[in-house]
Structure 1
Amino acid sequence: MTRVLGRLWIPVLVVVVAAAGVAAVKNAREIFGSNPVVVTPITSDGAEDFNPKVVTYEVFGSGGTAEVNYVDLDGTPQRTGSVSLPWTLTLRTTNPSASPNIVAQGDGSEIGCRITVDDVVKEERTATGMNAATFCLVKSA
């Protein structure tokens, strides 16, 4: 009989500890309210509920044309090629943040860029010199 009890006490102890653990976890879930799982309806707080951010890129200068490269509001680099000055592009997004960036090089002696977000100028730079180049960057719009 002692031999049988000597072999069974460890498995019995494991079962008792596992049952106590299951009971403790079940009790803790009931106390802290994780049962039932909260399901948020799809229609609440969607991106379409936000007012879109309006970002405007502008390039201006003394020359007639400029090479313009910019990062769109999804973070993808875009190249426009040679554009007439002044040049403007307006983009809209419902993303919570964006990082507008523009680089321009003109064929004149002066060039400038400006980034506005919701009609507020966030960055503006000008440069002078032969085939002047400039950039504007807003880290978080």
Structure 2
Amino acid sequence: MSPVTSVVKRMWLLLAVSAVAIVAALGIYRLHRVFGAHEHPAVMAKAVIDVPLFNPKQVIYEVFGPAPTARIAYLDPDAHVLQLPDVPLPWSQTVTTTLPAVSVNLMAQSAADTIGCRIIVNGTVKDERSVTRPKALTFCQVTSA
């Protein structure tokens, strides 16, 4: 018996596993190429149309009435709730934002029988309410401006 056949008899299983592994690797590589797994990623181009800048919006909150003070809570354009106890009336707060849309809210309560509120956006009154009743409570709301 020749030395080559004795090596093949001892190593046949290793050679068979190696051959199967090589054939499987080549098959997987070909399947990846068929289904596009090795293609280069798409390059994102800059948009031709630039997004226009939004004009700043000026939001003015106002609370008025005959009472000397009021409790006020309001939602600013950044969606932060601010609470102010015992604020002297008349009261006003101005906020400027560059957001494309503004949703703001204002609530006021006084110990008097009358209270009113107003929200002005860019010089236009968007909401105004007045209430007459004991311990008057009112709110103003602008959902989108």
TM-score range, shorter chain: 0.7 to 0.9
Aligned residues: CA RMSD: 2.7
CA distance in 1, matches of 2:130, 2:61: 14
Q: Which residue of 2 aligns with 1:18?
A: 32
Q: Which residue of 1 aligns with 2:132?
A: 128
Tell me the number of residue pairs that the alignment of Structure 1 and Structure 2 aligns. 126
* Shift in CA distance, 14/87, structure 1 to aligned 2, threshold 3 Å: same
Pick aligned residue for 1:76 from 64, 75, 80: 80
Q: What does the per-residue CA deviation read over 1:72-119, in whole Å, with 9 as the maximum and x for residues that have no partner?
A: 221111122212222111110011223211110112211111111111
CA distance in 2, matches of 1:95, 1:11: 55
What's the secondary structure of 1:12's corresponding residue? helix
Structure 2: which 5+ residue stretches go unaligned? Answer: 1-15
Q: Does 1:137 align with 2:141?
A: yes
Q: Is the 8 A contact 2:111 2:135 kept in 1?
A: yes
Counterpart code for 1:81 = P
What's the secondary structure of 1:130's corresponding residue? coil
Q: Does 1:51 align with 2:94?
A: no
Counterpart code for 1:52 = P
TM-score (structure 2 length as normaliser) = 0.71
Q: Does 1:113 align with 2:120?
A: no
What's the secondary structure of 2:70's corresponding residue? strand
TM-score (structure 1 length as normaliser) = 0.73
Q: What does the per-residue CA deviation read over 1:38-95, in whole Å, with 9 as the maximum and x for residues that have no partner?
A: 357xxx758xx43211111111112222111111221111122212222111110011
Cα offset for 1:25?
Answer: 4.2
User: Which is higher, the Rg of structure 1 or of structure 2?
Assistant: 2
Cα offset for 1:9?
Answer: 5.0
Cα offset for 1:135?
Answer: 0.9
Identical positions, percent: 37
Once superposed, which parts of structure 1, at least 4 consecutive aligned residues long, lie more than 6 Å away?
Answer: none
What's the secondary structure of 2:35's corresponding residue? helix
